[in-house]
Amino acid sequence: MKKNIFKKNNTANWFLGLFVVLFLVVIGRSFVGTNNIAAPTELATDGAAVTVVSDKPVVLTFSDVLRRAGDIKSINIRENDATGIMKDGTKFKSVISHDPEFLTKLSDKGATVTLDSSKSFAEKFIFGMEFLFMGLLIFWIFRGLRGGASGGLSRALLAQNPTKVTTGKPKTTFADVAGIDAEKQELMEIVEFLKNKEKFKALGARVPRGVLLAGEPGTGKTLLARAIAGEANVPFFATSGSDFSGIIVGLGVAKIKEMFEMAKRNAPCILFIDEIDAIGQKRSAHSFNDQDREQTLNQLLIEMDGFANETGIIVIGATNRPDMLDAALLRPGRFDRQVQIELPDLAGRDAILQLHAKKFKISPSVQLRDVARGTTGFSGADLENLLNEGALHAVRAGHKSVEQTDLDEARDKILMGPKKNRKMRPEDIKLTAYHEAGHAFVSMIYADVTDPIHKATIIPRGRALGMVQHLPIDDKVSMTVQEVRANLAVDLAGRAAEEIFFGDEKITTGAEADIEAATRLARYSITTAGLSPKVGLAAIKQSSNFANRGQLENASQKTAELVDAEIRSWLDNAHADAVRILTKHKAKVVKLATELLDKETLTGDEIREIVLGKKADKTENHDKKETKAQKKTIRKTTKKIDAKK
């Protein structure tokens, strides 16, 4: 039995037919554009009479026609092709330039000039083919528009740009989400409504129709949305804002309709739109070039405002740019509630690490609390990646489980980059050792107001030739003036050590990042936090002008000069303080630098032993308990700085 392959794929047949028509049009245009001019049998081009050997018309050039204008009896011109008869009866053909002066000259010479504007059969055929081709194309498009479902688009058009929707009942619950307990509590009402909406109806309460999850990338917005659906045991539909844009105008509107109809058929459910700012950006009078996106946004606004509250559809949007969203999208009745998901604090990072550590073979000696202390500013995704990088390092090192050293290496790699096998000059290595020793020593002197030292190293990573790493006891939400001054002295201690041990002519550019960090901290303390008595409590923001030095807003020229002078004063005092401390304890700084040259990396306990002259007590929290002599030194130093102020 023969199979009719043309019945299998109607779309392919349409495209094949259109291709054939297009091919005929091209061939026809080529045929019309060709000048089928017979070659002359004999042609005189020197002004003599034309000798005709056969009955075929001779071909004259345009120059010949101009010279023989007085010999022409009649000429018929059609576009650039001309045919005519000489006064002696000779027929000719020519390709001429359509020039009114030329036609006037021929008429003055007694020639009969005829202009033919009619179309030939071939041209009529080509025009008909073009018209037929456009008609077939329009018919094919409207055939799809007429037969489609959900918004009027056919399956063939939607198949070209399908809506990527993840469906199903997720198994993720709130037990799989750690580090954002306050946000989970905020969303428990959504779960309760999906489980038992009658309890809310009895009191006349209206549960939010939409919830906007805003936060930094990797903080768990998508995970939290899935956990809501899993906790309530309802269907979960997930898509992305970018899926509603396409090359076909109006396709985004159809997809919005399709998605909401799908959700209504499966209510109660969770409808999750990730990166909603892709379609929900603010509209303006100048956004006429993006009408398709605005139409898609309008359809989303209509759908979110259109379904009844008792349908049980909860729309959850996620974005890391809530400031870009249109105000109509954030009004009550659409996204009623906005939940800001912050980066996890110390306790949150510890909980996230404990949760993800279940998937890895972690050594019992690993202190995840210490890992959490050293990962300030990490998101949940960053912490999971940290454990994975540690596991990869453990495999490369041949460890049977993930050790503390593997996690430390993974953290350093993420923060500063991989180790660099640079060939450094001995004098550069020595200078780096003294630079880092200066940071470490001053940090130990201010141990009760700065974060405890975790380690110091002169192993190059990224752009840094060495570093001193601190592990905070907890997350700080603010800093005292004493802490600011101590941190400024620690930042500038590396440059101070270079000056003391190598001289002013040997200082290097290695303190670039330290000076930048110190300047940023001093400027923030003076212009924003109001910690300078001279500048006062006025908040002065630093505006960012592209490619130019930032200007101080809300400040006169006199105030700006005062701010610059005060920043310089703070930095100079911090630098003088670091020089004083290092000069007073040169022997211990030399010993610390020598140990760094020998071992390349020193732990916090080893640094503490060199500076304090005794081993650290493992049974106490040495990160906070320091000797009376140190505290006395700190008080003296602070008083001197205050006196200078």
The 10s digit of each residue's pLDDT in 422-463 is: 678 888 889 999 999 999 999 999 988 888 888 898 888 877
Q: Nearest CA to 430 among 540, 593, 633? A: 593
Tell me the C-alpha to C-alpha distance, in Å, between residue 43 and each of 57, 58, 605: 11, 7, 108
Say if CB 271 and CB 313 are below 8 A apart. yes
Residue 471: name the closest of 549, 368, 387 by CA: 368
Query: Out of 258, 384, 403, 436, which one is annotated catalytic?
Result: 436
* pLDDT greater at residue 526 or residue 417: 526
Higher pLDDT, 81 or 544: 81
Task: For residue 638, give the nearest of 583, 573, 590, 585 by alpha carbon.
Answer: 573
* Adjacent-strand bridge partners of 93: 59, 83
Residue 461 DSSP label: B
Distance CA 211, CA 209 (A): 7
pLDDT one-digit tens code per residue, 578-617 = 999 999 999 999 999 999 999 988 988 899 988 887 654 5
User: Catalytic residue at 436?
Assistant: yes
Query: Considering the entire predicted model, what is its pTM?
Result: 0.65
Average pLDDT of the chain? Answer: 78
The CATH homologous superfamily to which domain 426-644 belongs is: Peptidase M41 (1.20.58.760)
Residue type, 177: V
pLDDT tens across 107-130, in order? 777 788 777 766 666 666 777 777
Residue 5 has pLDDT above 50, yes or no: no
Q: How far apart are CA 73 and CA 85, in angstroms?
A: 6
Domain residue limits, the chain: 174-341, 346-415, 426-644
200 Rama class: left (phi>0) / alpha (psi -120 to 50) / beta: alpha
Amino acid letter, 598:
D
Q: Are strands 269-274 and 313-319 parallel, antiparallel or unpaired?
A: parallel
- Please give the class, per CATH, of domain 346-415: mainly alpha
Q: Quick one: tokens of 75?
A: 């000429």
Are 216 and 252 in contact by the 8 Å Cβ rule? The answer is no
- Buried b / exposed e along 198-209 (16+ C-beta atoms within 10 A): eebeeeeeebbb
Q: Which two tokens stand for residue 420?
A: 């660099």
Contacts of 378 (CB under 8 A, 6+ apart): 343, 344, 349, 386
Percent of the chain residues past pLDDT 90, beyond the cut:
23
Q: Within 10 Å of residue 599's Cβ, how many Cβ atoms?
A: 13
Can you give the three-state secondary structure of 399-421, one letter per residue?
Answer: CCCECHHHHHHHHHHHHHCCECC
Nearest by Cα to 483 from 519, 453, 513, 446: 446
Average pLDDT over residues 19-46: 48
**Residue 204: pLDDT band by 50, 70, 90 thresholds?**
confident
- C-alpha dist (Å) from residue 640 to 485, 518, 576, 580, 633: 12, 20, 11, 11, 11
Least confident of 19-33, 181-195, 527-541: 19-33
Q: How far is CA 168 from the centre of its chain?
A: 29
**Concatenated DSSP letters of 253-318:** HHHHHHHHHHHHHT-SEEEEEESGGGT-BPP-TT-GGGHHHHHHHHHHHHHHHHS-GGG-EEEEEE
Residue among 632, 530, 501, 537 at smallest CA distance from 640: 632
User: Does the pLDDT value for residue 625 go beyond 50?
Assistant: no
For residue 386, pLDDT beyond 90: yes
- What's 590's DSSP letter? H
Q: H or E stretch including 238?
A: strand 236-240
Within 8 A by CB and 6+ apart from 67, the residues are 47
Strand order in the sheet with 269-274: 236-240, 269-274, 313-319, 210-215, 337-341
- Yes or no: domain 174-341 corresponds to CATH 3.40.50.20: no
